[in-house]
Amino acid sequence: MTDKTPAVKCNPDRMLLRLLADIGVNFDCASLAEIEQVSEMGVDPQRIIFAHPCKSQSALEIAARLGIRWTTFDNGDELDKIQRISPDMELLLRISVPDFGAKVPMGTKFGAHMEVTRPLLEKASLLGLKIIGVSFHIGPGSSDPNAFGTAVHYASCVFEESKELGFDMRILDVGGGFEDESFETMACTLRAAISRKFPSPIVVIAEPGRFYASGFYTMICKVIARRVHTGTGESKKPDMLYLNDGIYGCFSPCWAENAIFVPQLIELQAEHRLTPQKLEPHRYSIWGPTCCSIDCISKEVIMDQEVVIGDWLKFHDMGDIHYYGATITLKLKRDV
């Protein structure tokens, strides 16, 4: 059995969340604001997992009061906090796994290494807490199918440890990072690894937030300025376009994931253009509106025709982490 549980942080747009709620998916929430947003839509708290291994005390208190049943942990201090505040919650141990080929390494900040999983399980047992499963995340956009095979093997080892200590684990949360172009390959590898390592039935939770959200948005940006290189020393450089959004807004994956964005020019009738255009290919670098010199969206793209000030550029598949990058700080400020 597989539960589809997309991460709200991937795109907290209310219309998208409403659609997902209506088709019956569960929700991975990483902050109190996300939990409250989903709860206000009438989603049963039993369909929410508080998937943050290092939560604030106030967020944990309110989550427990709202009836959230599941949460994650990866260290002993978190176990002490949970035992003190919400001892009836059911827990998943977040483990650190190799993130082969991931755009963003996930194991740097979160996840218990294999040498400490048993001591953590022993501590949970002494505290009287209930451990029901294991979670991991191979990292967003991983292109190496072997990453899932290794992660599932690690998880199976923790399941065996838990059995020796008297826990009855039944849930495997395989995280997210699924993308359209590699989804079938990664899913097949994951399915085979789970069948091999977990012959007995378990509940598998997958967090395909990007897979759901990516195509949900197309973003349109305005060209607010342009710099044409005219000097002899600059003749080989692409001309520069400046947009009304950049890496400190919806293009945050430029610095977080080295993402590549290739826009399309929205065709305007001649009377609506500020200046005439040349109908021949042009090379451009694309920049955000800030004064920061690293606010670069694309170092070089080739457009079919000249782009001028006042034109509009269209970026497809902007519905996932791009929206999140512009809102995550606000979402976490309340978790104090």
Please identify every residue annotated as catalytic.
291
Separation between Cα atoms, residue 176 and residue 28, nearest integer Å: 10
CA distance 10 to 315: 17
CA atoms within 13 A on the CB side of 8: 32
For residue 113, the one-letter residue type is H
Q: Which helix (H) or strand (E) holds 313?
A: strand 312-315
For 212, other C-beta atoms within 10 Å of its C-beta total 23
Cα(99)–Cα(177) distance, integer angstroms: 11
Task: Quickly count: other Cβ atoms within 10 Å of residue 44's Cβ.
Answer: 11
Contact (CB, 8 A) for 142 and 210: no
Closest to 148 (Cα-Cα) out of 180, 118, 169, 177: 177
Neighbours of 327 (CB within 10 A): 16
H or E element: which one contains 167? Answer: none
Using the structure block, give the residue that is written with the tokens 């359209």: 180
